[in-house]
Amino acid sequence: MSFDLSVISSKNIILAVTGGIAAYKSAIIVRRLKDYGFDVRVVMTHGAQAFITPLTFQALSGNPVHTELLNPEAEAGMGHIELARWADLILVAPASCDSIAKFAAGLADDLLSTLYLATKAPVWIAPAMNQQMWAAKATQRNLNTLVDDGVHVIMPDAGSQACGDVGLGRMPEPEDIAYQVMQYFHKAQRAIAEKFGQLAGQRVVITAGPTREAIDPVRYISNHSTGKMGFSIAAACYAAGAQVTLLAGPVSLDTPNGVRRINVSSALQMLDQSMLQLEAGCDIFIATAAVADYRVAEVAEHKIKKSGDELAISLVKNPDIVATIAEQQKRPFMVGFAAETRNVEAYAAAKLVAKKLDMIACNDVSRPDIGFASDQNAMTVFFADQYQLDKRDLEKASKQDIAQQLVEAIHDARLQHQPAGRNAHLDVSALDT
């Protein structure tokens, strides 16, 4: 499952490391948080420095490590206040029995305990200690106090411990801890998107990838579409607050986070699923799939054996999915795509009119830098309203960036343009053919 990491690229994490053998795992946490795009600063207690050096964390985080409460180099010597204001989340991993007790009692005799009291950011702790210390009534009482105060506790794992005991108290794997932090920010971003996003509450159906039209049980007709653009648009629509259903042809891509995926193979299967989604409720239909124009008239029941120098196969025309959806009584906002090799804008504008779409995005797939398999794209978008065609150019960028711009274009079109619907009288004569 993939995530849009851009939503956390500006988030600041303080990783606080306390004394305990699990401190070595904290180095991996820093690395994983950095991989996700977080800016990480490390705070170490004196006990932590007995197990691992500040230099390790400085090298991994790319930031100076904070160890002292009163820092002469910080503004007015109040480094803990600066850090407290900087953080979007404070993660204490490992959280020793002593640090948990200090937090619960409200002590402030070192940098970490003072930072805990001075921040408005969420505080997460990942306790790590001997199994008997974890089970002690005082520890459990302190933990209950922290939970009541709003601290999020990442529960320890059970297993063998460095002291030889077996039981609860092991810090979870660093990859799991970093992943939970990443998910937290994605869920928060999603909640905002569902309320304030450009497509908040909208039901979006997207077709993506190629279709395969069977010749016999082992052969088929298809095209070079990879589905990358459609999947990027699905992720962008979800990030904008939409409920997204992705009708995916046969592609090797991970399903975007939060997106409902339905796999199809042929054009007829994609049409059937499109109609089902329309009946279930659809506000915006985005047709990015490269649907085969023709299918084999009669699919062979068994593999066709090689015989002779030529093989004739009869083809019949597939139904036009986007035009079929556009003609329905419960018509959603229709977005088409045109992948052309010449006269790109003219063909796209004509397609917009002929298929009675509200918006179409077109690109020149003959260009090797933005073709089917490329991670980049460049597009021209046409909007239809009652009397004219409007145009917007999307300069070459990553397909993720293009997808976000297309979401903005859909939002703008629905706000500012009178949908063309069944109006087929738009003037496209000014475009070169």
What is the average pLDDT across 7-11? Answer: 65
**pLDDT value of residue 79:** 62
Cα dist from 127 to 16, 107, 119, 140, 155, whole Å: 12, 18, 20, 11, 7
Question: How many angstroms separate the CA atoms of 413 and 407, rounded?
Answer: 10
Length in residues, the chain: 433
Which candidate, 340, 326, 342, places its Cα nearest to that of 275?
326
pLDDT in tens, 301-311: 999 998 888 88
| Burial label, 432 (beta-carbon count in 10 A; 0-12, 13-18, 19+) | exposed
Q: For 244-296, write each residue's pLDDT tens digit.
A: 999 999 999 999 988 999 999 999 999 999 999 999 999 999 999 999 999 99
Higher pLDDT, 396 or 29: 29
Mean pLDDT (the chain) is 88
CATH class of 198-417: alpha beta
pLDDT at residue 389 in the model: 64
- Report the distance separating Cα 357 and Cα 334, nearest Å: 5
Give the count of beta carbons closer than 10 Å to the beta carbon of residue 175.
14
How does pLDDT run across 387-400, given as a tens digit for each residue? Answer: 456 788 898 899 99
- The pLDDT assigned to 74 comes to 54
- With a cut of 70, say whether residue 338 has pLDDT above it: yes
pLDDT at 45 over 60: yes
pLDDT of residue 40 exceeding 80, the answer is yes
**Looking at residues 321-327, what average pLDDT do you find?**
95
**pLDDT tens per residue, range 158-208:** 877 666 777 788 899 999 999 999 999 988 888 888 888 899 999 999 999
Task: Give 155's DSSP letter.
Answer: P
pLDDT of residue 41: 96
Instruction: Give the model confidence (pLDDT) of 205-249 as tens digits.
Output: 999 999 999 999 999 999 999 999 999 999 999 999 999 999 999
Tokens representing 315? 């083809």
Calpha distance 248→403 (Å, rounded): 17
pTM of the model: 0.71
Mean pLDDT of the region 363-372: 78
From start to end of 45-200, where are the E strands?
89-95, 123-127, 152-153, 157-160, 166-170
pLDDT at 100: 97
Binding-site annotation, residues for CTP: 293, 303, 319-322, 337, 351, 355
Active site residue 163: yes
Confidence band, pLDDT 50/70/90 cuts, at residue 386: low
12: left (phi over 0), alpha (psi -120 to 50) or beta: beta
Mean pLDDT over 140-160 rounds to 93
Quote the strand ranges of 222-324, DSSP E.
Answer: 243-248, 260-263, 284-287, 294-296, 315-317
In the prediction, which pLDDT does 188 show? 86
Q: Rounded to an integer, what distance in angstroms lies between the CA atom of residue 240 and that of residue 196?
A: 8
428: confidence class by pLDDT, cuts 50, 70, 90: very low
Q: How far apart are CA 114 and CA 103, in angstroms?
A: 9
Q: Quick one: pLDDT band at residue 15, thresholds 50, 70, 90?
A: very high
**Does 12-159+168-186 match 198-417 in CATH topology?**
yes
What pLDDT is recorded for position 107? 95
Which one of the listed residues 97, 163, 237, 362 is annotated catalytic?
163
Question: How many CA atoms within 13 Å lie on the side-chain side of 130?
Answer: 7
Relative orientation angle of helices 111-118 and 97-105, to the nearest 10 degrees = 40
- Maximum distance among all Cα pairs of the chain, rounded to whole angstroms: 89
Domain map (residue ranges) of the chain: 12-159+168-186, 198-417
Residues annotated within a binding site: 293, 303, 319-322, 337, 351, 355
Paired tokens of 404: 């976000």
Q: Which pLDDT score is estimated for 410? A: 93
* More reliable by pLDDT, 8 or 41: 41
Domain 12-159+168-186: CATH class, spelled out: alpha beta
pLDDT bin (cut points 50, 70, 90) of residue 77 is very low
pLDDT at 9: 55
